Amino acid sequence: MAQEAKNQDLPPLVTRKAVKTKKELDLLLGDKGARYYKEMEVFPVDTAALKKTLDATCKSRLRTWLEICAHCSLCADSCFFYLANDNDPKQIPSYKIKSTLGELVKRKGNVDTKFMINCMDTAWGKCTCCNRCGMYCPHGIDMGVMFGYLRGLCFSQGFVPHEMKIGSCMHWLYNAQMDVTVEDYVETCEWMAEENEEYYPGLEIPVDKVGADIMYVVNAREPKHYPQDLAEAAILFHLAGESWTVPSKGWEGTSLAMFAGDWACCKQQVEGVYAAMERLKVKRYVGTECGHQHRATITEGPYWAGRKSGEPPAPGLHYVEWVLEALETGKLKLDPAKKIKEPVTLQDPCNYVRNHGLTDVTRKIMSYIAEDFREMSPNREHNFCCGGGGGMNGIGRYREERNIGLKVKREQILATGAKFVVSACHNCWDAIRDLEEVYKIGIKWSFLKPILLEMVIVPDHLKPKEE
């Protein structure tokens, strides 16, 4: 009783509005999810608002998809969750969307709390928005797109996984997925440049250099947890002789808000990056080895920002595109003797492969770095999600589901016979790391940058002077 009274005094954690203040963020961070999900169980649905949102945003494309689905089940085996869960019919993409968004639309938003929690558990716990199923449906029904939409509805009603709520809040507060401020970031850049200058004389990480050719944008995890990644990027740009810069404001390219379905926050986030492009008058954008950074800022971002052309203010490249260009133009030269000898395989991230067609780019890069490159099967646009996409890696509530889903990737990797997986995506990298932790199949995994750095030939004039 006393406990209950105490809980009632605390401000609520579950809210329909996005959380935008430090105080609320601290409250959320102070809870590991227990109180949050408990509150959610009795959190009412604002059915009138839900209906209004549906009327305004659920248009002919989505309604047609829901209506004409032939209930043929051809999409079943396109989804890795279906396969990983021993062909459980409840994991058929069509079933998952029909029993959630389909019902929601049919009932015109007149649903209860339990229903919304099931929507949440499906939209985040049984789908990574990898968009693979859409390629296999004879009607061209893309369930990944619909789950993305459903996430937005869930978010607007407060039914969103704890970590996703925190993620969107981070973006509102810091314009980054983690609590890294502009000052923190700039300091990290300076620190990394200093740290490595000794080995690479003249190395800098130019902040806010107007008119640079390239504006390099990162994932907040890099300054926060892997600053070495930032240094590696800087060294490679330096060795390639690029004119490049990092923005102070607008330095973060990812968007957990996209995974959370907080569309207003997506807009704010991406507009910050676009403002930096315009402020610095750069020729091109290069985003780090992260899939959803590319998806959020380059592929989807223009639409959130209201850019009719569907293009960002400056052409957007994924890191792999820059790498290939540097290799092909000879800006970066690799020592062929240092090519990886052991079998290597490659993880194709959904966000820039299936959803942006960068298939040949990574394969050409592999031809520069690996002697025995082994394709996964299926691969390219047909590759399976790593198992941790769409925010799944970060959500504690669905850890079990995530680990089961990883089985498909495990089998794919094992079938190649390779013990080394190249992954130019943070999410895939994490999923593969966790895969090894859970299933212990004896693999290594790596981003491209460390591999390139091992092999790159440092031009004489950039070598440290012998004293």
Partner 1 sequence: MYEFVSGPLALISFAIFFVGIIIRIVWYVKGLDWQLDRVAYSEKLGAGIKGAARSLFHWLLPLNRTTANHPVFMAVTYLFHICLVLTPIFLMAHVVLIEESWNISWVTLPDKVADYMTLAVIAAGIFFLIRRLTDPNVKILTTASDYIVLAIALAPFITGYIAYHQWELGAGYKFWLIIHILCGEIMLIAIPFTKLSHFVLSFCSRIQLGMDYGIKRGGTKGRGIAW
Name the residues that contact partner 1, by CB under 8 A.
57, 59-61, 63-65, 67-74, 76-77, 87, 89-90, 92, 94-95, 98, 131, 134-142, 299-300, 302-304, 306, 308-310, 353-360, 380-382
Whose Cβ is closer to partner 1: residue 59's or residue 338's?
Answer: 59
- Rounded to the nearest whole angstrom, what is the least distance from the CB of residue 98 to partner 1 in the complex? 7
Residue 64 or 377 having the CB closest to ligand HEM: 64
Figure out which of the listed residues 10, 48, 70, 415 binds ligand HEM, where binding follows CB under 6 A.
70
Per DSSP, the residues of 211-241 read T-SEEEEB-THHHHH-HHHHHHHHHHHHHHT
Picked from ligand HEM, partner 1, ligand SF4, none, the partner binding residue 128 (CB below 5 to 8 A depending on kind) is ligand SF4
Residues in the interface with ligand HEM (CB under 6 A) total 4
Shorter beta-carbon distance to ligand SF4: residue 223 or 388? 388
- Per partner kind, with CB cut-offs from 5 to 8 A, the member of ligand HEM, partner 1, ligand SF4, none near residue 357 is partner 1
- If one counts every other C-beta atom within 10 angstroms of the C-beta of residue 15, the result is 14
For ligand SF4, the closer CB: 148 or 312: 148
Report the distance separating Cα 107 and Cα 135, nearest Å: 28
143: left (phi over 0), alpha (psi -120 to 50) or beta: alpha
Contact between residue 322 and residue 328 where contact means Cβ atoms under 8 Å apart = no
CA torsion sign for 276, 280, 285, 287 is negative
| Full DSSP string of 238-284 | HHHT--EEB-STT-B---HHHHHT-HHHHHHHHHHHHHHHHHHT-SE
What residues between 127 and 146 interact with ligand HEM by CB under 6 A? Answer: 138-139
Helix (H, G, I), strand (E, B) or coil at 160: coil
User: Applying CB under 6 A, which of residues 29, 48, 72, 415 lies at the interface with ligand HEM?
Assistant: 72
Instruction: List residues binding ligand SF4 (CB under 6 A).
Output: 69-75, 78-79, 81, 93-94, 96, 127-133, 137, 139, 141, 143-144, 147, 385
Nearer to ligand HEM, 94 or 412 (CB): 94
Q: In angstroms, rounded to a whole number, what is the distance separating the alpha carbons of residues 190 and 205?
A: 7
Using DSSP, state whether 338 is helix, strand or coil: helix
Q: Is 201 helix (H, G, I), strand (E, B) or coil?
A: coil
Q: Which residues bind ligand HEM (CB under 6 A)?
A: 70, 72, 138-139
